[in-house]
Structure 1
């Protein structure tokens, strides 16, 4: 039994080392320039390990592109958000969205890799949009649609959703700027939890502003 546990631990460690090494090299050099040999050398793994754990270089890249962000949700239960008051629903939404930021340096490499993917696309970005980003957007749209009491989703609901998500996205793409100007905003897990709470509050104000805009627009049309 002990032997099996040790083997499982060694397998996990070897796979994790490959992910860590590949993340750094793919982020620095890109998919084409980073070789499987140098990835394995950096990870202290045999060249055949990539085939064993990931199938091929593309499989390794796919794992590196997604796994460091945390476990992906294949299905977002929108109903769990709709059963909550607006502030609480948005608070949970931002807490889940910002959770990967707690990984520090690793998440900075992930963002560097994602930026590189935009310049040298492999198709992984589109997969991420379909599997992760669109479901997140749809969940937020459902929250807004319910709170606004709309029979259907219009373009302004999408504009509002993109604007709300954009507040959180900045803390991913602008990590270096935030750290240079006000490092205490992101430097601890507690700080990131507070950030999620604050963003939820800001978002509630944005939703209230959209409610007022729609009321005024309706009056002008009468």
Structure 2
């Protein structure tokens, strides 16, 4: 079985920047630029293959920046992914699309510190599409303007960090086709000087949710929605 490793490489004006099929032990890319392509990384296998590991990768693509089928473990770190109009016949764009065929699920997906943006693309747009996975973790990512931020289908467990930001995203999160609320939204529209602290505790003690900041006396406000009251 082959293992593919690309380090400090650039690809330009291609149908597929990197395309891997058949049987392979893994695919690793680091410090790679894939620019003005239809699909940036296209890793689709008929069987169930091991990992895809990306770090410090810059991709702009017309159709998919990253598309995988039948990869068991996937890690994407510190990447910049956005749309380009290099191929004008594409009607929908996604930064990342991960799936698996048949009954076997993708075991683990982790996406960290990655920026996703549709740029000037005018068709249907999605940040992350994941179908049929056991565990998905998304941390500290920034979603620029787009239609759907994260679309999860048949995902057993998922975790979104509070530092994942959605900027002008119509539907930040959908699960099995239904719009869902992100559990905790962080609003950085003003520079916070007073904030919250959440502190855990060992057995026998209670966790603490408290107010901290620069002022001596700080109140705590809980705001309801619509006509409801707290």
TM score, norm. by length of structure 1: 0.27
Larger Rg: 1
Which protein is richer in strand relative to its size? 2
TM score, norm. by length of structure 2: 0.26
